[in-house]
Amino acid sequence: MLWSGWGDPAKAAALPEPLRKLLQDMLGVRAPETPAASFGEVRLAPVALSPLVLAELRAVVGDGHVRSDADARIRHTRGKSTPDLMRMRAGDGSDAPDAVVLPGSHAEVAELLGLCAAHRVAVVPFGGGTSVVGGLVATRRGFAGVVALDLARLNRLISVDTESMTAEMEPGLRTPQAEQLLATHGLTLGHFPQSYEYATLGGFAAARSSGQASAGYGRFDDMVVGMTVATPRGTLDLGRAPKSAAGPDLRQVILGSEGAFGVITSLRLRVRRAPTRRIYEGWRFASFAAGSAALRRLAQEGPVPTVLRLSDETETMIGLARPGELGGLAADAGCLAIAGYEGSGEVTALRERAAAVLSESGGLHLGTEPGESWAHGRYSAPYLRDSLLAVGATVETLETAGFWSNLPRLYDAVRLSLQASLGSPLVMCHISHVYGTGASLYFTVVTAQSGDPLAQWETAKRSAGEAIVAAGGTISHHHGVGRDHREGYAAEIGELGVEILRGIKDRLDPRGILNPGVLIG
């Protein structure tokens, strides 16, 4: 993946001139005065690990699987949030690990954790490198160095149980690889987040990921029925049955822990039959409130489409609901909803029943073109962000979730907070994950870069986080906590909740080497 941006460098594209002019006229966006740094201009600190420690790491995984060259270190520096990319474009490699280590088995991971604990070396588990919340930046203070534990070699489909409809898979599998392996058995996970092309199964579990088809397939944490976890204190084997009354479910302790409690080395996942039919279509609603009411009715009374999302008026007008198009629907088009149906023979009946509800709720059917256009451009939006950064626009996302009755208050609170912090930004929002009791809100913000764009966004993000907490939302629905959301997460769970997590951390990781600074302070 591109070291200073998203995805395949060959897919990067310059911003179309009409969109560039629109940004200039609407937001005052101007080209940056300083060009982005080249790969060779990235500033790296000297490797802090001693030759002795490097030799011991190589003894565990082999000479070829410990790298401390500039290429490996730069490509394992931070994640893919806008602030991460801004720092890399400025040539700031100060958060680079001292070495990248690639274990090939659970036993090697366990041995590496013991070695790093003994030498007081911080360990950052690394999957696809797609974190957007500062989840890959370890605190260095008090440590002899930092190692990125890249799990790319743990990439096997271990077993498939078609009777129980589960599959055991290793955490380093990227989603396309996992889907290809499952497809040979006629199966799918059904997990397709925007990071699909690069993120890994271990990362999905560690951050409680949620994909575009969560209405039909569920969140990723719903799919995890078992796991093996290496910790500095030993191994956890969790999940003897789909559900259990044998005390608190320790799987839930690891899910969402972002590598701070242990390193997932295998996952037992619920799988589904691969669909033979996929249909995506568009619906228009007069307002975000009307569309939200329709989605709520489907979520609570059924039938629930596999994909169900709703863009607000601004996102619909700008056209980011349909990546790659400028303008999308007409300016007076209200709000665009996407409904997607995946399955076999049941798709037609499900689609007809859902269409009746959407129509009764005030929706206007737009046919399949808007839905298919959205599905086709689903993974293109991060490339657009890179193009916007290059012309001097800050574009970033943040997300939350709340109960249906509180969703309007939460929506208004975040938008007003961003507008107050940034002056006159473009703030767009969509609902992309629905439940019987509530839904998520996913915001995209575009503004002209100030003299210090990092400080500009940090101020806005802090204000938005405070607004989310004050309005009763969760600090993150599916991006995770990382470093960026630590304060909001602490406010959400309270002092006693933080003490509980620190107690777990102290027991599993007494020397605090696992992703220090992430999740809890």
Q: What is the 3-state secondary structure (H, E, C) of 4-54?
A: CCCCCHHHCCCCCHHHHHHHHHHHCCCCCCCCCCCHHHCECCCCCCCHHHH
- Specify the amino acid at residue 141: R
Determine if residue 129 is labeled as part of a ligand binding site. yes
Residue spans of alpha helices (H) in 269-380? 288-301, 313-318, 347-360, 369-376
Element (H, E) at 253: helix 251-254
- What is the length of the chain? 521
- How far apart are alpha carbons 416 and 512 in whole angstroms? 39
> Which tokens in the block code for residue 155?
């990439």
Among residues 379, 383, 442, 489, the one annotated as catalytic is 442
Residue 299 has φ and ψ, to the nearest 5°, of: -65, -35
Determine if residue 142 is labeled as part of a ligand binding site. no
Determine if residue 385 is labeled as part of a ligand binding site. yes
Determine if residue 220 is labeled as part of a ligand binding site. no
**Cα 189 → chain centroid:** 17
Determine if residue 258 is labeled as part of a ligand binding site. yes
- How far apart are alpha carbons 384 and 192 in whole angstroms? 19
Determine if residue 371 is labeled as part of a ligand binding site. no
Determine if residue 262 is labeled as part of a ligand binding site. yes
Determine if residue 259 is labeled as part of a ligand binding site. yes
- How far apart are alpha carbons 270 and 226 in whole angstroms? 9
> Which tokens in the block code for residue 477?
């629905």
Q: Which residue has the tokens 């608190």?
A: 248
> Which tokens in the block code for residue 446?
């575009």
> Which tokens in the block code for residue 426?
């473009």
Q: State how far the alpha carbon of 125 is from the alpha carbons of 70, 100, 206, 328, 391, in Å.
A: 19, 10, 10, 40, 33
- How far apart are alpha carbons 181 and 196 in whole angstroms? 15
- Specify the amino acid at residue 404: W
Residue 20 per-residue DSSP state: H
Q: What is the largest CA-CA distance in the chain?
A: 70
Catalytic annotation present for 442: yes
Determine if residue 260 is labeled as part of a ligand binding site. yes
- How far apart are alpha carbons 432 and 520 in whole angstroms? 28
230 with 200: CB under 8 angstroms?
A: no
Determine if residue 263 is labeled as part of a ligand binding site. yes
Contacts of 169 (CB under 8 A, 6+ apart): 156, 157, 158, 178, 181, 201, 266, 267, 269
> Which tokens in the block code for residue 484?
């960026």
Determine if residue 101 is labeled as part of a ligand binding site. no
- How far apart are alpha carbons 66 and 62 in whole angstroms? 7
Active-site residues: which are they?
A: 442
- Bind-site residues for FAD: 125-131, 258-264
- Bind-site residues for substrate: 385
- Bind-site residues: 125-131, 258-264, 385
